Structure formats: structure tokens, C-alpha cells
Structure 1
Amino acid sequence: MNSSNQIAMDGTTATTNNHTEDFAVDPLDIKKCYLDLNSLQAREESAIRQAEAEAERRGVGVTSEAQNIFDALSKTLPVRWDKTVIVVMKEVRVSSPYLPESVSGGTPAANDRVKKVLELERKRLHARGGGQ
């Protein structure tokens, strides 16, 4: 050995700094290991649900500006995508180019609320450079 920090492995024996240790016995005995399969399955299912929820929040075939508007609206209102249309509060629709004039449907009060929030969020996005 050239250096005291080097380790040489030869089969089941490791040598380091004139110290030899036999690794014939596996320190990780499978008989002593316990995996809670129910817990692992629950974690997997939770991760899948989270990934699906995140995927539903991503618009397909929309501009980054549209996605930014969706993300901003989602902070204060319940939203979902219907192809390229943002559906707010299950009744109000915001179509491209995602301007207050593009808002339709819903009650007059809901429609006005979405227009106001949309206008405010567009101003915020443009102020931060996130809008076009």
C-alpha cells in the first residue's frame, strides 16, 4: 500500500493501515431486516396522487404566460384546466388571450370577481416580468 488511507479488497478481506477485518459475515442480515410494506405502499400511493395532482395543474398546449396566470389565480381561487381554458370556481371560463375581456360564464358576481382577480394578477406578473 502506498498510503495509509487506501483500502485494498481481496475477496472477503479488507486491509487498511495494517488492520485486517474479515467481512465473511454480512453486516446486513436480511433475517433481521424489517420492511413495513403497508407503509411503503401508502407512501407510493401518496406520491402517485401528488404527481397526478401536479400534472392536472399543468396546461397542455398553453403558453408560459397562460400557465403563470393559472398559477397566480390558483393561489386565491379554485381553478382547473379544460384543454386551454382556465375554469374558475367550476363555472367561470377564461379563454386565450387570458384577458378580463376573455372571461365568460358564471353568475355576474362570480364573473366580475374573476375579472378583478385576473386583472390584478396580470399586473403583478407584468411587474415581475412574467407576462408578455
Structure 2
Amino acid sequence: MYRRIALALSATLLSAAAGAAAITVPSNLMLPEADRAARGYVESWIFSIELEGEELTGMNACRKILTERGFAPTLSKTASSALPALHFKISGQKEYAQASTEADDALAAVQQAKCKGTLSWTVTSKPARR
């Protein structure tokens, strides 16, 4: 559980520091730990992408990209007393059995689309079925 939290936090922090020299991509976080693999522990990876913003029209291109790449995006509308303005959130996830540059390509496509809103992504591990 702590490992999942650490992966999620590191992905969020690293995506915020995208201007740094060494950019972390999802496939870098999908590598198994050698000692766990040696003990026979098998895991799969869930890559999640979220885009949150105030204008839905500026987010449709990213929604289309996620759909085309098999992320099955969902749309949420939210507002709260702290943030009374209506917000839209598009989120999608896809499971990978092993590290895949397909995840990197999906993230790059969403970033290049320059959709309005705040982009965040996470990679979490889960025990794989044998």
C-alpha cells in the first residue's frame, strides 16, 4: 500500500516538474522491483490520467484521445462550497501487464493536445493474476 502511495505521489510531483532535465514517463514507473520479482511476486500496472478544468469545450480533444487509446474516460461535473464554480473532470485508466511505451505515447498525446485544465497522472501497482 505504501508503495502505491509513493508511486502516485512521485508521478504527480514529477509531472509538475516536467521542465526538469530527466523527465519521468509512466513506463519508468512500471518496472518491477527485482527482489519482489525474485520471490515470485507478479504485479500489473494501472495508469490513470485526469484532466480537470472549468470549460468542458476545451477538454474534448483530450477526451477523444483517451477514448481512442482505450482509457474509457468518464466525465464528472463538480462544485462545492469551497469552489462554487462548476468544474469538469475527465478521467480514464488502463491496465498494463508490464511496462509499456504505449502509456508514454498516450500521455504525450494528451500533453500535445494542450487541452484547457490541469493534467495529472498516476501509476499504481496491483497484484496480477497468475
Q: TM-score, normalised by structure 1?
A: 0.26
The structure with the greater share of residues assigned to helix is 1
Q: Which has the larger radius of gyration?
A: 1
Q: TM-score, normalised by structure 2?
A: 0.26
